[in-house]
Structure formats: structure tokens, C-alpha cells
Amino acid sequence: MTTEIKNKMSEKDGEHLDLGRLIGEIIDYRKLIIAVTMAFTVMAILYAIFATPIYQANALIQVEQKQGNAILNSLNQMLPDGQPQSAPEIALLQSRMILGKTVDDLNLQYHIEQEYLPVVGSGLARLLGEKSGTLDIAHLELHASNETSPVIKFTVVNNKKYRIEGENFTAEGQVGVKLDNAYLSILVNDIKASKGTVFTIQQYSRLTAIAKLQDMFNVTDQGKDTGILLLTVTGDDSELVRKILDNISENYLEQNVARQAAQNEKSLEFLNEQLPKVRQELDVAEDKLNTYRRQQDSVDLSLEAKAVLDQIVNIDNQLNQLTFKEAEISQLYTKEHPTFKALLEKRQVLQQERKKLNAKVSAMPSTQQEVLRLSRDVESGRAVYMQLLNRQQELSIAKSSAIGNVRIIDTAITQPAPVKPKKILVVLIGIVLGFLVSIAIVLFRVLLRRGIESPEQLEEIGVNVYASVPISEALTKNNKFNGTHKQQKTETLLAITDPADLAIEAIRGLRTSIHFAMMEARNNILMISGASPNAGKTFISTNLAAVISQTGKRILFIDADLRKGYVHEIFATKSKVGLSEYLSGGRDINEIIVTIENCGLDFIPRGQVPPNPAELLMHERFNNLIEQVKNKYDLVIIDTPPILAVTDATIVGRYAGTSLLVARFEENTVKEISVSIKRCEQAGITIKGCIINGVIRKASSYYSYGYSNYGYSYSDKK
């Protein structure tokens, strides 16, 4: 149970650690996040200011149920309630028939646009209050062009004259006068623009213009049962979109009236042809009935026969109505539709009832049967005639009114405020997008970063971390690194100039760790090297020597970097005579040792840069030097070149009892340290541990350990 609890606690701690580091990375890169977010916000604001406003015009149209259709309106029991034909009307509104007429009426095949400066010209002119020029072109046709959408340039000379430039021509014209040449034919009715204004005129094909209008035009149903349609047109010209929508509404209304009138006229022509025939058939039936009654001496029907006659006539009338209904329904539905099937079922029921009544009639006397037959013909014919006569009157009224089933409720009007761009929404999108992009950049940089960020990374591979030295604030300010946290080469010794610096405090802690680490060492020689250049090994070694010497220890510092050593600059000495001269046999050991008074230590500089530094370090003289100084001093610190760069450190490390590596925070990787240690082991050198230099106090590493996280500094506050 205890093990399970510990495991769970470990998992939770790991989760909290990951979340904390993620939040910490965001906090560490807050300047980057703010900068990127502000950049996107500024771009969004500029877009909201300079973007061309898009206006919207809207209108309301009601599609009513068709009037005068008594047959379909009488299907209350069999059919569902009549629904407004919104879907077909919407399709009709968006058809090329309606929109094509609008394109022709308003000359939408010609796209006229005033030229401005690129990108910001239009918005800048609008902000300055400049009104755009307008052209009224009544006719335009290009006679010869290889382009599908040719573009011509129209320049205003004055209010009455203009100049047109095309691909292969240049012409001048006057307002109100048709210009016709081999290239084009144009008629300009009016110009409202200042002198020198340039327009670009592009002619589209009729089909292209209709397609563009379809993209601008939208129809939506305002309710399932209302039959009210909302028409909208969007565009950058507020007056033009209103004209377009008004024209579409009028064209739709006109075609609806024309369609309704044509339908009523066709139906009326048919009824005018059929009514005389039906009337003639009715007269013949009445004559036959009267003649038979005279022949039979005024034969009257019994009460039973009258009742049967009424039933037969009623059924015949219903069958006739069903015939008309079937004709109307066949235009809307197929025979497999439930409505059509219900009508056929009702017809079958009525026919069965008629058969039963015919059976009753067959049982009557022959005289009564004949009277019933003739009376049925008369009554049925009279019902059909009256039905057709009523329909004729209805169609005559509908034709005379000719209003159709469409009416315009609200005429087109342009909204005063543009619908696009929505400035507040654009700015909010810019802020959110900038924040997301900045977060993505941060995560991308974190994923690509392979450098050491915490001592745990080195300890996982078995490397002891003796100290985490934070970045020196004093050196960072003095060196002015343009926002980067790097301790570059400096000619000052921080342990002397600013002993209270956090970096020196960490080095004092390193002093204690090295003391215990060297207790079991075979000698008092300490080699400090690094995996790569700019790790800060010279910074660590020089300040460590100064800190230890301040305790009264006798310290000798040897600059074994014969290639690029600059320790003499830090100690403010000359490097004319040094280690390279001794190893070459040109100088004695006492001649190369320099005493640094302000630090209280001895120093052997690099000397002149030799052509063969590795061969000199392998010479027996270097061994003699180590043997002479290790008994004379309490501690000998040797600064060497990076291990991965040259082999000098592996040569010096054989003489050192303790060897340490310096790793740069977030620059050196765990792999580099591991390879460096393996290279030393191959040379027979044991690396005691590692020093992490240049640690930056970061929110992402708050939960890590080290001097930078748990340390404290001196304060003047009491």
C-alpha cells in the first residue's frame, strides 16, 4: 500500500512538474508572447481601418398560396395543409432568368473600379474623406480581344472628355457621344470624378457576371409556414447593392405576375371551349328526360327512388371532383405518393358504393330505372356545368387582377453601417491569433531546445553536479548583450569587483564541494575544462581561484589553454612569458610565475601562442612543472581548452587528481557532456563531476533545485 501511494505521488509530482514547467516557459517568454501578440493586434487594427467596407441591402418578399385554385384548396381531408412554395421560389430567385435580367438592366457585365495606391490607397482615401469617382456607362463592347475578361484604363480629362487605353489602342471620347472604333464601342452618360482620375474597366461575360451576382445575392426563408423570404445583396458600393436588390425584386414580381396571368389565360381558353359542349350535353339530357316523361304521361319518382337518385348524383359529383383533383395532383406528385394513393383508394370506395346503388336500381321497375338514369344524367351534367362555370368566373377575376401570389413587403434598403469588417471581432481575432502563434513559437523553441536546464538531467546519467552558478547580473549589464544572457569575455575579476554577486556566492559553495571532493584525491591538482567553447570555464576557474585564495590558501593558477587563453587579461598581466616558453625550454619556472597582488595568488600565463601546443603539453617538462608546484601550493588550478574541441585537456587530466567539467546552461546538451566524459575515460581520466554555469532564473525551472532556485543574496534592507 505504501509503495502504491508513493508511486501515485510520484506520478502526480511529475504531472505537476510538467504543467509547472509549461506555464513557466510561457512566463519566461512573456516578452516574446507580448511582442507577437501586439504585432498581430496592430495588423488586425490596420486591417480593420484600411479594409474596404462591405455594405448589405435587404428586402422582404412574401410568397402567398396560389389563389383561385379551388380544387387543391378543397383537399382538406385527404391532403396536408397547403404549404408556401418557398423552396421553388428561392431557386427561381437565384436562377439565371431573374439575375440575368438584372445584369442586363444594370450593366453589371462592366466592373468599374477607381485606381488607388496599392494596399492602403483605398482605405487612406476613405479616411481622408475623399469621395470615390463614379462612371455611368450605358454601353460597352470590345470588338476584338483575345482575353476572356479584358481590362481597359479610363482616364478623366475633364467632366466632358475622357481617354481610353487598351492593350493595343488609345482613344479619346466625349460624354454622351458614342465612341466606336475597331477595338471597342462605348457610350458614357456621365462622369463624376476629378481631373486625372483613373478607372479600370473590366468586362465580364454574361455568365460570369451572373455567377458573381449569385455570390453576392442570398435568399433565406424567414419561417416554415410564413412564406416570407429575406433577400440580401452585399457589396462595397452601398447605392449599387440597393439598386441591384430593387431590380431583382421587381423582376421577380413581374415574372410571377406574367406566369400567373399566362396560366390563368390557358385555363380560361380551355374552359371557354368546354363549357358550350357541357351545356349542349346538359340540354340533350334534359330533353331526353322531358320527352320520356311526356311519353309515360308524367312519371314521378317514389320517395325511395328519389333517395337513391340523390345518392347516385352525390357519388357522381364526388367522382367528378376526384377526377379534377387527380389532374391537379398528378402535376405535383407521382402515383407512389401517399396522397395519390389515398385519392385512388377513395375513388375505389365511391365506385363500390355506386355499384351497390346500381344494384338497388336494377331491382326497381323498368320505368323507374329509366327515369332514374335520365335524371342522373341531368343532375350530374348540371353539377359539372356549374363547377366549370364557377371556375371560369374565378379565372376571369384572376386574369383581370393579374397580381400573382408574390408581394413586396419591404423594398430594398442599404444598412447604414457596413457588415464587414467587424472591427471589434477582427481585433479580437488578431489578439487571439497572435497569442496562439506566440504560444506555438514558444512550444516549438522548447521542443527544439536540447540544452541542460536542470541538474537532474546530468544526474540521470550518473554525473555529479557540484554547483549551479547563476548568470552574473553585473557582467550582464556591463557587457550589454542585446537581450541575450551570455557571460562573454571580460577583463574584470568578479570576485574582486563584486564579491556579493550571486555568481560568486555560488562559487563559494563550489569551493566547499571541491574541498570534500579532493580529500581522497591523489594530489592537489584541479583541472577545469568544458565540453565546448564559451561554456564559461575560465570564468569559473579564475573566480574559484580568487575565492579560495581569500581564505588564506596558497593557490597557483595555470592557464594551460595555449591556443586561446586570455586569463592574463582578467588578472591584468602580460603574456609575453609563460607556460609555452617554459615547455619550450626557454625559461625557468621562477621566471614564468606571476604574483597577483589583489587576489593573493600566483599565476602562470599562457605565454606566446606556440605552433604545437599538444606536443608541448606532452613534454616531460610539464610533468616536472607539476611535481615542483604541487608540494609548494595548497591547490593548483589548471584551466584547459574544451575537450570536444582539442585533445589538450586529456593530456593535462593525467596529471590532475581532480577533474571537473563546466557546462553552459541551455547551450550544452546532456549528450555533449556524456561524450566528453567518455572521451576522458578512454584517456584514463576520471571526471568527478560537472558545474552548470550561466543558470538563468526561470519560472519554468522553479521546481528544480539549485542555487538559483533556493539561494539568497545580500540585501541592504534591515
Helix (H, G, I), strand (E, B) or coil at 132: coil
Query: If we measure between CA atoms, which residue out of 610, 557, 601 comes closest to residue 583?
Result: 610
pTM for the whole structure: 0.61
DSSP sequence for 81-128: PPPP-HHHHHHHHTSHHHHHHHHHHHTTTEEEEE--STTTHHHHHHHT
Q: Are 402 and 261 in contact (CB under 8 A)?
A: yes
Q: How confident is the model at residue 376 (pLDDT cuts 50, 70, 90)?
A: low
Sheet holding 217-221, edge to edge: 217-221, 228-235, 55-63, 406-414
Grid cell, residue 24, equals 513557466
pLDDT of the residue at 390: 75
Nearest Cα to Cα of residue 450 among 618, 672, 248: 672
Q: Is the pLDDT of residue 542 over 80?
A: yes
Say yes or no to pLDDT of 356 above 80: no
Yes or no: say if 412 and 57 are a contact pair by the CB < 8 Å rule.
yes
Beta strands in 640-682, from DSSP E residues, in sequence order = 658-664
Please report which helix (H) or strand (E) contains residue 283, including its range.
helix 238-295
Give the residue-averaged pLDDT of 86-115.
85
Instruction: Look at residue 709 in the predicted model and tell me its pLDDT.
Output: 45
Q: At what angle do helices 423-448 and 30-50 cross, to 10 degrees?
A: 150
Tell me the range of 90-94, 244-248, 450-454 where mean pLDDT is highest: 244-248
Look at residue 254 and tell me whether its pLDDT is greater than 90. Answer: no
User: How far apart are the C-alpha atoms of 351 and 369, rounded to whole Å?
Assistant: 19
CB distance 578 to 605 below 8 Å: yes
Q: What would the grid cell of residue 208 be? A: 460570369
Phi and psi at residue 455, to the nearest 5° = -60, -25
Dist. CA 74–CA 223, nearest whole Å = 24
- Looking at this protein, which amino acid is placed at residue 223? G
Q: What is the pLDDT of residue 713?
A: 45
pLDDT of the residue at 24 = 75
pLDDT above 90 covers a percentage of the chain that reads: 16
Per the rule left: phi > 0, alpha: psi between -120 and 50, beta: everything else, 482 is left
Place of cell 393579374: 402
Average pLDDT over residues 639-653: 89
Q: Specify the 3-state DSSP secondary structure of 712.
A: coil
Query: CA–CA separation, 633 vs 581, rounded Å?
Result: 22
Q: How confident is the model at residue 4 (pLDDT cuts 50, 70, 90)?
A: very low
Greater confidence, 178 or 68? 178
Q: Which three cell numbers stand for residue 316?
A: 357522381
Most confident of 109-113, 579-583, 699-703: 579-583
Question: Dihedral, CA atoms, 310, 314, 317, 319, nearest 10 degrees?
Answer: -130
The whole-angstrom separation of Cα 668 and Cα 694 is 11
Please report which confidence band the pLDDT of residue 603 belongs to, taking 50, 70 and 90 as the band edges.
Answer: very high
pLDDT value at residue 483: 41
Strand pairing class (635-639; 555-559): parallel
Instruction: Give the lowest-confidence range in 190-204, 553-567, 586-600.
Output: 190-204
For residue 244, report the phi and psi dihedrals to the nearest 5 degrees: -60, -45
Position 426 pLDDT exceeds 80: yes
Q: Determine the Cα–Cα distance for residues 648 and 558; give it in Å rounded to an integer.
A: 14
**What value does the mean pLDDT take over residues 74-82?**
45
Q: Nearest CA to 540 among 626, 604, 475, 625?
A: 475
Quick one: pLDDT at residue 638?
93
pLDDT given at position 304:
60
Inform me whether the pLDDT recorded for 575 exceeds 90: no
Contact 514, 551 (CB under 8 A): no
- Segment 312-332 shows an average pLDDT of 70
Q: Is the pLDDT of residue 289 over 70?
A: no
Asked if pLDDT for residue 330 goes beyond 60, the answer is yes
pLDDT tens per residue across span 182-236: 778 888 888 888 888 888 888 888 898 899 999 999 998 887 767 788 999 998 8
Report pLDDT for 710: 43
SS3 314: helix
On whether the CB atoms of residues 464 and 79 are closer than 8 A, the answer is: no
pLDDT category at 80 given cuts 50, 70, 90 is: very low
Q: Which residues of 631-670 are buried (b: 16+ CB within 10 A; e: fewer)?
A: eebebbbbbbbbbbebbbbbbbbbbbbbbbbbbbbbbbbb
Name 528's bridge partners: 639, 660
Residue 519 pLDDT grade (very low, low, confident, very high; cuts 50, 70, 90): confident
DSSP-derived pairing of the beta strands 228-235 and 55-63: antiparallel
**How far is 114 from 122, CA to CA, in rounded Å?**
9
Give me the mean pLDDT over the 70-87 stretch.
50
- Residue for grid cell 389515398: 342
pLDDT tier for residue 57 given thresholds of 50, 70 and 90: very high
Query: pLDDT confidence of 36, banded at 50, 70, 90?
Result: very high
For 410-416, what is the mean pLDDT? Answer: 87
**Please, which pLDDT band fits residue 577 given cuts at 50, 70 and 90?**
confident
Rounded CA gap, 359 and 479, in Å? 122
Residue 585 CA: distances (Å) to CA of 22, 214, 580, 592, 620? 58, 95, 9, 12, 11
The amino acid sitting at 507 is I
Report the distance separating Cα 420 and Cα 321, nearest Å.
56
**Other beta carbons within 10 Å of 716:** 4
C-alpha cell read off for 189: 452618360
- CA atoms within a 13 Å half-sphere pointing along the CA-CB vector of 613: 23
Element containing residue 373 per DSSP (H, E): helix 366-401
Grid cell at residue 674: 556524456
Q: Is-contact 189 137, C-beta < 8 A?
A: yes
Mean pLDDT, all residues of the chain: 78
Retrieve residue 578's grid coordinates: 609563460
Q: Cα dist. 172→144, 157, 403, 615, 638 in Å?
A: 18, 9, 49, 90, 90
Residue-level pLDDT at 473? 76
* Structure-block grid coordinates of residue 335: 402515383
Share above pLDDT 70 across residues of the chain, in percent, rounded to a whole number? 75
pLDDT at 486: 45
CA distance 266 to 425: 56
> Average pLDDT for residues 265-274, to the nearest whole number?
69
395, 271 Cβ separation under 8 angstroms: yes
Helices (H), 171-237: 206-216
pLDDT band at 35 (very low <50, low <70, confident <90, very high): very high
- 527-537 tens-digit pLDDT: 999 988 888 88
Residue 604 CA, chain-centre distance (Å), reads 64
3-state secondary structure of 201: strand
pLDDT of residue 322: 74
Q: Taking residues 379-390, what's their average pLDDT? A: 74
Which of 38, 201, 182 has the alpha carbon at shortest distance from 113? 201
Give yes or no for residue 267 having a pLDDT over 90. no
Residues 6+ apart with CB under 8 A from 671: 450
How far apart are the C-alpha atoms of 444 and 36, rounded to whole Å?
A: 14
Tens-digit pLDDT profile for residues 656-679: 999 999 999 888 888 889 999 999
Of the candidates 656, 401, 416, 362, the one whose C-alpha atom is nearest the C-alpha of residue 529 is 656
Instruction: Supply the pLDDT for residue 318.
Output: 74
- Render pLDDT for 441-488 as a digit per residue (tens, 0 to 9): 988 887 777 778 788 888 888 889 998 888 887 777 665 444 444 444
The predicted model gives 387-400 an average pLDDT of 69
Which stretch of DSSP H or E encloses residue 284?
A: helix 238-295
Q: Looking at residue 65, what DSSP letter applies?
A: P
What is the predicted pLDDT for the residue at 546? 92
